[in-house]
Structure 1
Amino acid sequence: MARVRLIDVAERAQVSMKTVSNVVNGYAHVQPAMRARVQAAIDELGYRPNLTARRLATGRTGMIALAMPEIDHPYFGEMASHLADIALERGYRVIIEQTLSDPEAEKAVLQDREAGLVDGVIFQPTRMATLDIARLHDDLPLVLLGEVDAPVTTDHVMIDNVAAAHDAVAHLLASGRQRVAFLGLVDGDITMTNRRRLLGYQEALVAAGVRLDPELVLHAHGFDSHDAEAAVEAAVERGLEFDAILSRDDRFAAGALTALRRRGRSVPDAVAVVGWDDSAIAGYTSPTLTSVAPDKRALATRAFDLLHERMHGHHGAGRHVVVPHAIAVRASAPAG
Structure 2
Amino acid sequence: MAKQGGANGEHVVTMREVAKAAGVSIKTVSNVVNDYEFVSQTTREKVHKAIDELGYTVNVSARNLRTGQTGIIGLAIPDLQMPYFAQLSSLVIEEAKKLGLRVIVEPTLYSREGEIDALHGSQQAMIDGLIYSPLELGQDDVDQLKVDYPLVLIGERIFTDTVDHIATENVEGAKRATSYLLQTGCKNVAVVGVHPGEKVGSAALRYQGYREALEEAGVEFDERLVVEARMWHRSDGVKAMNSLLDSGVVPDGVVALNDMLASGVMHSIQMHDYRIPDDISVIGFDNSDDSQYLSPALTSIAPGLEAVARLAVKLLKDRIDGRIPSKDLRPDEKVFRKVASSLVVRQSTRVPEIPAAI
For the aligned pair, the TM-score class normalised by the smaller chain equals: over 0.9
Counterpart for residue 228 of structure 1: 237
Q: Is the 8 A contact 2:139 2:200 kept in 1?
A: no
**Please, which runs of 5 or more residues in structure 1 have no aligned partner?**
none
Alignment-mate amino acid for residue 83 of structure 2? P
Cα deviation digits, residues 227-277 of structure 1 (max 9, x gap): 211221221111113100000111111111111111111110110000110
Instruction: Pick from 310, 330, 334 the counterpart of residue 346 of structure 2.
Output: 330
Q: Is the 8 A contact 1:24 1:91 kept in 2?
A: yes
**Please, which runs of 5 or more residues in structure 2 have no aligned partner?**
1-9, 325-330, 353-358
Instruction: Pick from 52, 56, 60 the counterpart of residue 51 of structure 1.
Output: 60
Instruction: Pick from 311, 334, 347 the counterpart of residue 318 of structure 1.
Output: 334
CA distance in 1, matches of 2:112, 2:350: 41
- Alignment length, in residue pairs? 336
Cα deviation digits, residues 118-173 of structure 1 (max 9, x gap): 11111111222457454554231111111022332211111121111111110000
Counterpart for residue 153 of structure 1: 162
Instruction: Pick from 155, 175, 197 the counterpart of residue 206 of structure 2.
Output: 197
Q: TM-score normalized by structure 2?
A: 0.88
Q: Name which of structure 1's ranges 226-235 and 253-262 shifts more when overlaid on structure 2.
A: 226-235
2:193 is paired with a residue whose SS is: strand
Label 1:269 to 1:131 Cα distance change in 2 as closer, same or farther (>3 A): closer
The answer on 1:92 being equivalent to 2:108 is no
CA distance in 1, matches of 2:194, 2:140: 27
CA distance in 2, matches of 1:30, 1:114: 33
Counterpart for residue 6 of structure 2: none
Instruction: Pick from 186, 191, 199 the counterpart of residue 182 of structure 1.
Output: 191
1:162 is paired with a residue whose SS is: helix
Alignment-mate amino acid for residue 129 of structure 2? G
The answer on 1:36 being equivalent to 2:45 is yes
What percent identity do the matched residue pairs reach? 37
Alignment-mate amino acid for residue 223 of structure 2? P
Label 1:131 to 1:250 Cα distance change in 2 as closer, same or farther (>3 A): closer
Deviation, 1:187, is 7.4
Cα deviation digits, residues 71-130 of structure 1 (max 9, x gap): 111111111111111111111111111011211111122213332311111111122245
CA distance in 1, matches of 2:351, 2:72: 44
Alignment-mate amino acid for residue 220 of structure 1? A
CA distance in 1, matches of 2:139, 2:193: 26
Counterpart for residue 265 of structure 1: 274
Q: Is the 8 A contact 2:158 2:200 kept in 1?
A: no
Q: TM-score normalized by structure 1?
A: 0.94
Deviation, 1:190, is 8.0
> CA RMSD for the aligned pairs?
2.0
Counterpart for residue 308 of structure 1: 317
